[in-house]
Structure 1
Amino acid sequence: MDTLNGPLTNVLLALPTTPYLGSIRFNVNGAFDPKSPPDNFSENYDISKPPLNPNSNVGSGVYMFQFNQVVDVILQNANMGDYESKFNLKNPSLRNIAVLFPYGWTALRFKADNPGVWAFHCPIEPHLHMGMGVIFAEAVQNVKSIPRDAFACGILKKVLMNNKEHN
């Protein structure tokens, strides 16, 4: 997997009104964009020369992972570089926040061993509100139980209301 940062892929995260977890688990159509966001960007991208029209597309797509799948995420704040030869695979640091320096890159690797739906986003709050994030869904079929209150909004609320009328 390559770069997943919204401004680089030109797709900004817009959270839907229906929770991802329930809509994925119960195959509810229309809750979010079923296509994965892009996982790469143009090799000609140059952060020092932003495009003339900086407007981005908005999306609610999800990156879906199988249980125990190993996922590599490359966050890049510059042109495509030779980062593969520089991976530290022997003793990588364990963190929940990684720094992405200007004109630099950061490689992250994780095992999708925690079933559920997770927001992966910039921890700077204004950046999150600007759409700098993506959604990861890890082995949602392995989630044992979902509290009924988690279905009280969006399309799922309508589904529950229809089920109550027929029960």
Structure 2
Amino acid sequence: MSALNERIPLSICVLTVSDTRTAANDTSGDYLAEALRADGHRVAERALLPDDRYAMRALVSRWIADPEVDGILVTGGTGFTGRDSTPEALLPLLDKEMPGFGELFRAVSFEEIGTSSLQSRAFAGLANATFVFALPGSTSACTTAWERIIRHQLDSTTRPCNLATIRPRLKE
């Protein structure tokens, strides 16, 4: 197997943001952690926090500062209702936004949930060369995001480009 075709395992943190979920019923976080492992990545750390922008910001900032963490997947808090505040908490931490992710996620979601996809404030970006993806809290939305978009960008064999192979250059 040539180096071009070798998969690069990444170290990813998973955060569930919810005022109602517990470790016992966190199906979205369970799904993302298992999907990462199934694709050969390592779950560096997993956490569940209430929808509190300062607690989120503190934890994600610690992960962003850790040179061993390649990326972060956040599920929950991206809607319009209640205390949803993931974008307000995490967008200020990003060095660069990846607008195409939110646009593509909403387009793919439209196929499944129609115009309700407009209510998603899913986003992605880079902070300290660490990629951050913020997804809705439903397991269905996490499955859509993973299967249709994220898994391919974390796969070092995806061409013409992917996040796994450009990450070292992001630090330059």
TM superposition score category, shorter chain reference: under 0.3
Q: Which protein is bigger by CA-based radius of gyration?
A: 1
Which of structures 1 and 2 has the larger relative contact order (alpha carbons within 8 angstroms, sep 6+)?
1
TM-score (norm 2): 0.26
Determine which structure has the larger helix proportion and give its number.
Answer: 2
